[in-house]
Structure formats: structure tokens, C-alpha cells
Amino acid sequence: MDSGLRSLLSDHSRYVESFRLFLLNSTEHQCMQRFIDTQFPHIVSSIGKDKSVIDILGIGSGSGEIDLQMIGKIQSRHPGVAISNQIVEPSAEQIIGYKGNSGWSMLWKKHGPRLPLNDLCLYVTAGDIAQMLSSMGTRFQSYELPSDMDITECFIEGDRNGEMLLDFLTETCDFKRNAPADLREQILCDLKSPECSTTRDGKVIFNNNLSVIVVERD
């Protein structure tokens, strides 16, 4: 990690503000909602057959809104079956979920060593998780959730929203001001590259695709 760079998670209020901007500019929650409404019911139809208890482990669930919706779907499919729900939340702050075939993967793989890294933010992609599960011989299913984010403001000099989005993308507090010039220029250049984004109607649209991995345990 470059000296002088501080994790965004170290500044709670700044993190919350950047996270809200991320949600405002991205379709992440919308694509997750579509998945829960359309695909998840079919997935859970095979979960819990002949079981008296269904165990659920939530990792980094934040406020728990998504978990509650999923539990509701499971309950509707398996009425009367007890549900044991455990939450592993290492911090009061939200944490980013796993990003698969997206711009996040490129950023993390290329620039992760120079960005703040701590126990709450590990640069792990869904592809890494899938590879690990395969090596263990564990059965799983992977689902791709198309999502994007408008990051045009990141390239407008002096734009506060753009600066906050850059903080969120890099998990770095006040990235534009504190990052070395070469790192700042490289990341801004990469954010415009085809590996990360597309240009649509004059806007820079970041590939925010998500992956959902369902692990099957006997």
C-alpha cells in the first residue's frame, strides 16, 4: 500500500456518503431485487426438502434487508420449517460484496497492492471463490447479475460527487487528494478502459456486474 493512503472504512461518515452515492448512481440494488424476485424462488425450491431446520449464514449482511427478503422467500416455499440464521458482520459499516466478471475485478487485481488493505476489505472476486470451491470439490451454482454505474462525475475536476465515488471505487479516504499522481492517473485511465467501462450517450458507465454463488452442502 502507498504510504499516506487511508482506508475509507476508517471514516464512517465519508463511507456512508460515498456508499449512498454508489447506490444512487448504480443499478446494484435493482439487479439484486430482480434476482430475488425471479430466480431465487426457483433456487430455494430444492433447498430444505425433508429437513426440519434450514441453516442460513449471512456474511457482511449490513442492514440485513436482502437477507430478510431471502428468508421470506424460503419461508414461503417451506412453511413450518425452522430457520436458523447466523450473521457474521465484522464491522458496523457496510462492506462490499463479491464482484465477479466486472470492472471491480480489473481494478482490484491491478491496483490492489497499492490501495489500503485491511481485514474488512479483501480484494477477492467471485472467480476466486469459485476456483476455491472447485478445488475443494464442493458443489455450487453461479449466477451473473448484470449491473452498471454512472461514473462520469469522477472525471469532472472539483466535482465532490465524483471524488466520493472514486473513494468508494478504491476504498480509499479522499483518494483524489491523497493518492500519488501516477496512481491517480492510472486508475482514472483504467476506469475509462473497455475492461472497466463503456461510453454511452457521453457518459462513462462502469461495469458493476455481480455474481451470486449458491453452495450446495449435503
Q: What is the band of 98 on the pLDDT scale with cuts at 50, 70, 90?
A: very low
Q: Is the pLDDT of residue 166 over 90?
A: yes
Q: Is 50 exceeded by the pLDDT of residue 113?
A: yes
Does 44 fall in a domain? Answer: yes
Give the model's pLDDT for residue 100. Answer: 76
Spatial neighbors of 146 by CB under 8 A, at least 6 apart, are: 31, 209
Report the relative pairing of strands 82-88 and 53-59 from DSSP bridges.
parallel
Is residue 90 a part of any domain in this protein? yes
Q: What average pLDDT score do residues 67-78 get?
A: 82
Q: Is residue 163, in this structure, part of any structural domain at all?
A: yes
Could you tell me if residue 3 is inside a domain? Answer: no
92 or 152, greater pLDDT: 152
At 173-213, the pLDDT tens digits run: 999 999 999 999 999 999 999 999 999 999 999 999 988 88
Assigned domain for 2 exists: no
Q: pLDDT-derived band of residue 122, with 50, 70 and 90 as boundaries? A: low
Residue 69 belongs to a domain: yes
Question: Rg (Cα) of the chain, in Å, rounded?
Answer: 19
What CATH number has the domain bearing residue 207? Answer: 3.40.50.150
pLDDT at 109: 83
Confidence of residue 94 (pLDDT cuts 50, 70, 90): very low
> How many structural domains are present in the chain?
1
Query: Residue range 45-70: average pLDDT?
Result: 70
Q: Contact, 123 vs 109, CB < 8 A?
A: yes
On whether residue 53 sits in a domain, the answer given is: yes
More confident residue, 35 or 70: 35
Q: Which of 206, 101, 95 is nearest to 144 (CA)?
A: 101
Report the range out of 89-98, 134-143, 181-190 with the highest average pLDDT.
181-190
Q: Tell me which of 87-96, 104-113, 135-144 is least confident.
A: 87-96
> What is the predicted pLDDT for the residue at 43?
82
Q: Residue 64 pLDDT more than 50?
A: yes
Considering only residues 84 and 114, tell me which one the structure prediction assigns the higher pLDDT.
114
* Number of helical H runs and strand E runs in the chain: 9, 7
CB-side exposure of 204: number of CA atoms within 13 Å? 19
**Which residues are CB-contacts of 19 (< 8 A; sequence separation ≥ 6)?**
94, 168
Query: Residue 45 sits in which domain range?
Result: 8-216
- What per-residue confidence (pLDDT) applies to 118? 56
